[in-house]
Amino acid sequence: MTDLADRRGIETDVYQPAEDSHLLATVAAEQVDEDNLVLEVGTGSGYVAERVAGETGARVVASDLNPHACRAARDRGVEVVRADLLDPIRTDTCDVVLFNPPYLPTEEGEEWDDWMEVALSGGETGRAVIDPFLGNVGRVLAPDGYVLLLVSSLTGVEAVVETAAESGFSAVALRDESYPFESLTVLKLHR
């Protein structure tokens, strides 16, 4: 088996900022207000959380399952908690939730044997992490809260919008960027 991180030519402990990170951070900085409490799920290096906090003045808390990512985010000055998606987050607390999920479709049976593969691998459809996130994110949102979710064409934007609708969300595409192998979209999900 060829390791996903080796194929990308990057380190294997922490997802480093790439095109998807830059797109989510840019859109979030335009959307977030100074008085918002923002949660970035799956922060990786902490780049998005740091940039959004710095550009908006909002309080941004980050989470990641990867202990190396938590350390990297803390090194950037990000307030971070080690968590699996939204598990420890209190109900009705977040004004905005940001998420750049693992979305690369992964062949059935392919082992996730390092942190980088966990950060990239989205299961057979690319939605193995997105679907449970959408099923639970409504719990942590404040009444007028919303989600900014980065979605790749590799996962099927329409399928993500349908799953979001099943979880009670309306979706609006805020920005799209195209690259040679995929298009990236930032969706704004609100109830």
Which tens digits make up the pLDDT trace of 47-68? 999 999 999 999 999 999 999 9
One-letter identity of residue 107: E
Structure tokens at 76: 């950037």
Structure tokens at 145: 């809260």
Residue 69: per-residue pLDDT: 92
Rounded CA separation 147/163 (Å): 14
Query: Mean of the pLDDT values across residues 143-147?
Result: 97
Q: What is the pTM of this model?
A: 0.89
The answer to whether the CB of 80 falls within 8 A of the CB of 46 is yes
Residue 165: per-residue pLDDT: 98
Query: Mean of the pLDDT values across residues 104-124?
Result: 70
Domains of the chain: 4-190 (3.40.50.150)
Rounded CA separation 97/128 (Å): 18
Residue 168: per-residue pLDDT: 97
Is 117 a residue whose pLDDT tops 90? no
Rounded CA separation 105/156 (Å): 10
Rounded CA separation 153/184 (Å): 6
Is 1 a residue whose pLDDT tops 90? no
Rounded CA separation 80/66 (Å): 11
- Coil, helix or strand at residue 57: coil
Residue 53: per-residue pLDDT: 98
User: Is pLDDT larger for residue 123 or for residue 187?
Assistant: 187
Query: Mean of the pLDDT values across residues 71-90?
Result: 95
Q: For residue range 134-143, what is the model confidence (pLDDT) as tens digits?
A: 999 999 999 9
Residue 104: per-residue pLDDT: 74
Q: Which residues pair with 39 in a beta bridge?
A: 61, 97
